[in-house]
Amino acid sequence: MVEKTPILDIFTYVFLITGIIIVGFPVIYAIIAATLPIEDVCRVPMPLIPGDQFWVNIKAAWEKGNLGTNLLNSFIMASGITLGKISVSLLGAFSIVYFDYRFRTLVFVSVFCTLMLPVEVRILPTYEMAANLLGPLQHLWNVLHLNGLVSWFAGHTIDITLEWSILDSYTGLILPLIASATCTFLFRQFFLTIPEELCEAAKMDGASAMTFFRKILLPLSKTNIAALVVIEFVYGWNQYLWPLLITTNPKMTTAVIGLQHLIPAADDLPYWNVALAGSLLVMLPPILVVLFMQRWFVKGLVDPDK
């Protein structure tokens, strides 16, 4: 600091360490609990010396919470969302910035406004949409009384219903979440800071639009992509409401939701050691991603338009 303040410095470190311990406490405590046998977990207060039951508990959680399938589902969902969001918005931003066409402002505004429509505010209609992707077409079909028309042509009653459900499928878990106002906005902001001369030069050398995109824009966007990979992977992995709505088949549930079955009910034996072992396992992948890609992640989170 500026001047010497030895007492304040000591307090600084004391508070800092206390702060770190308080923030870490729930997880440290969970780690200890996850290593204990059940008799120790329900002892009050719980012993703070780790036991040797960690792998036993992990194994129990793995079987009880169906974690093998669920972790795979979570992984597919999170990667799908990350990949989908980033590619869809890279292409979208490229189209908005590097082409001049009539509707581009409208397109940009309409994509941007989805920021104000999180899944939580349109739960039921979005579910209905996922239950039948052809719903709008069916709507149109009914409005135009096409059933009557078809029946008239065929000479007997024909009832046509259009149905295409994406409930309980990876498509359903991923597709509705890959439109991203934030990603599109960030890439757009970034593309706008790229010097005009690069594009001029590329054109002069005879590069087509897609060559320019692949050879120049993509490599330049590497840092931004890395930051968004972290943010969107964590976002995808931690999704709760949407998978809860559209998956009824236990084989399609995600790991975070599956943990529900591990929480001991009131009249159950209090298998908290198993529940916490499972929770630790499920929270590990996004934490690792954040820690290993910390530099890009912080940069992307804090100053999105650099």
Q: Which of residues 207-226 bind another protein (CB under 8 A)?
A: 208-210, 212
Considering only 83, 131, 150, 234, the residue that binds another protein (CB under 8 A) is 234
**225 HSE (CA, 13 A, CB side):** 15
- Alpha carbon 117 to its chain centroid, in Å, reads 16
Contact status: 2 vs another protein (CB under 8 A): yes
- In whole angstroms, the minimum distance from the beta carbon of 58 to another protein comes to 15
If one asks whether residue 184 binds another protein (CB under 8 A), the answer comes out as: yes
Query: Directed axis angle between helix 54-64 and helix 272-292, to 10°?
Result: 90
Judged by CB, which is closer to another protein: 252, or 256?
A: 256
Rounded to a whole number, what is the distance in angstroms from the first to the last CA of the chain? 29
Q: In the bound complex, what is the minimum distance in angstroms from residue 129's beta carbon to another protein?
A: 5
Among 64, 127, 132, 151, binds another protein (CB under 8 A): 127
Per CB under 8 A, the segment of 12-20, 49-57, 151-159, 217-225 that binds another protein is: 12-20
Counting beta carbons within 10 angstroms of the beta carbon of residue 169, is it exposed (0 to 12), middle (13 to 18) or buried (19 or more)?
Answer: middle
Near another protein in 281-300, by CB under 8 A:
282-283, 286-287, 289-291, 294, 297-298
| Residue list 104-123, contact with another protein (CB under 8 A) | 104-105, 107, 109-111, 114-118, 120-123
Which residue from 10, 20, 149, 158 is in contact with another protein, where contact means CB under 8 A? 20
Please report the sign of the dihedral spanned by the C-alpha atoms of residue 61, residue 63, residue 66, residue 70.
positive
* Number of chain residues interacting with another protein (CB under 8 A): 117
**Tokens, residue 65:** 């919470």
Q: How far apart are CA 122 and CA 108, in angstroms?
A: 21
Name residues contacting another protein, limited to 129-168 (CB under 8 A): 129-130, 133, 136
Cα separation values, 149 from 81, 158, 169, Å: 42, 9, 35
Provide the minimum distance between the beta carbon of 192 and another protein in the complex, in angstroms, as a whole number.
6
The H or E element that residue 29 is part of is helix 6-34
Residues 41-100 that bind another protein (CB under 8 A): 41-42, 44-46, 88-89, 91-92, 94-100
Cβ contact 235:84 at 8 Å: no
Least distance in angstroms from the C-beta of 151 to another protein: 20
- For the CB of residue 161, give the shortest distance to another protein in the complex, in Å: 14
Q: How far apart are CA 297 and CA 306, in angstroms?
A: 13
Could you check whether the bond before residue 118 is cis, i.e. omega within 30 degrees of 0? Answer: no
